């Protein structure tokens, strides 16, 4: 029995809706909520259980229901409170896969961002070095120019005057 688990991101954390868990286990959603309320303190040890109100359509019109959005640890805790049937074991496997895949994807994105950050730092350091060398060299040249001009004038005078000197 294979389950497709849809993870949603809530406050930067991957979560699974209690409706999806109830559906995968083949039980009524109210039973999942009852279990969450009965062991509220246990679930709270793994963070806040996020409850949402979601609309749904019935033959009598639109209604709303409360849905719990469970973190990875809360999902596993919920399943440990369930009998270890084939469905429960199958859902455990599906959750381990889904959360593991999301974690690896997040690590991959983080690594890529870290690599980009390193490239940016190298580019910034290179640019800073070039600017520093360029501006330092330009400043040194500005400081040296008056002395260079004076030396040049002196040397030019020594070279040019003899060229135009009248013979004796």
The model's pLDDT over 69-80, given as tens digits with 9 standing for 90+, comes to: 999 999 999 998
pLDDT digits (tens, 9 = 90+) for 107-137: 666 656 666 666 667 776 776 676 677 777 7
Query: Which residue segment(s) compose the domain that 55 sits in?
Result: 8-107
> What pLDDT, on a 0 to 100 scale, did the predictor assign at position 112?
67
Q: Give the Cα separation of 95 and 69 in Å (integer).
A: 14
Domain count, the chain: 1
Q: Give the Cα separation of 70 and 78 in Å (integer).
A: 9
Give the residue from 103, 92, 107, 86 showing the smallest Cα distance to 5.
92
Is residue 141, in this structure, part of any structural domain at all? no
Return left, alpha or beta for 65; rule: phi > 0 is left, psi -120 to 50 is alpha, else beta. beta
> What pLDDT, on a 0 to 100 scale, did the predictor assign at position 82?
87
> What pLDDT, on a 0 to 100 scale, did the predictor assign at position 98?
86
pLDDT digits (tens, 9 = 90+) for 12-45: 788 999 999 998 888 999 999 999 999 999 999 9
Helix (H, G, I), strand (E, B) or coil at 36: helix
pLDDT digits (tens, 9 = 90+) for 44-99: 999 999 888 888 888 988 888 899 999 999 999 999 888 888 888 888 888 888 88
Is residue 27, in this structure, part of any structural domain at all? yes
Is residue 89, in this structure, part of any structural domain at all? yes
Is residue 134, in this structure, part of any structural domain at all? no
Range list of β-strands (E), the chain: 8-10, 13-17, 50-58, 61-70
Is residue 132, in this structure, part of any structural domain at all? no
pLDDT digits (tens, 9 = 90+) for 134-146: 777 777 778 877 8
- In angstroms and rounded to an integer, the radius of gyration of the C-alpha atoms of the chain is 37
Q: Give the Cα separation of 155 and 3 in Å (integer).
A: 91
Taking the model in full, what pTM does it have?
0.56
Is residue 98, in this structure, part of any structural domain at all? yes
Is residue 92, in this structure, part of any structural domain at all? yes
Is residue 167, in this structure, part of any structural domain at all? no
List residues bridging with 16 in a β-sheet. Answer: 70
């Amino acid at each position: 029995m294979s389950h497709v688990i849809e993870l949603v991101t809530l406050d930067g954390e991957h979560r699974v809706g209690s409706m999806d868990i109830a559906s995968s286990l083949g039980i009524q959603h109210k039973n999942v909520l009852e279990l969450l309320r009965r062991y509220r303190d246990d679930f709270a040890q793994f963070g806040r259980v996020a409850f949402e109100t979601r609309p749904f359509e019935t033959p009598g019109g639109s209604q709303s229901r409360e849905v719990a959005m469970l973190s990875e640890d809360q999902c596993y805790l919920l399943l440990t409170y369930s009998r270890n049937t084939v469905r429960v074991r199958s859902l455990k496997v599906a959750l381990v896969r889904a959360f593991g895949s999301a974690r690896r994807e997040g690590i991959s994105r983080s690594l890529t961002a870290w690599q980009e950050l390193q490239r940016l730092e190298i580019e910034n350091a290179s640019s800073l070095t070039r600017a520093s060398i360029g501006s330092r060299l330009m400043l040194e040249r500005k400081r040296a120019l008056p002395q260079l001009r004076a030396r040049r004038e002196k040397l030019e005078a020594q070279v040019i005057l003899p060229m135009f000197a009248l013979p004796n």
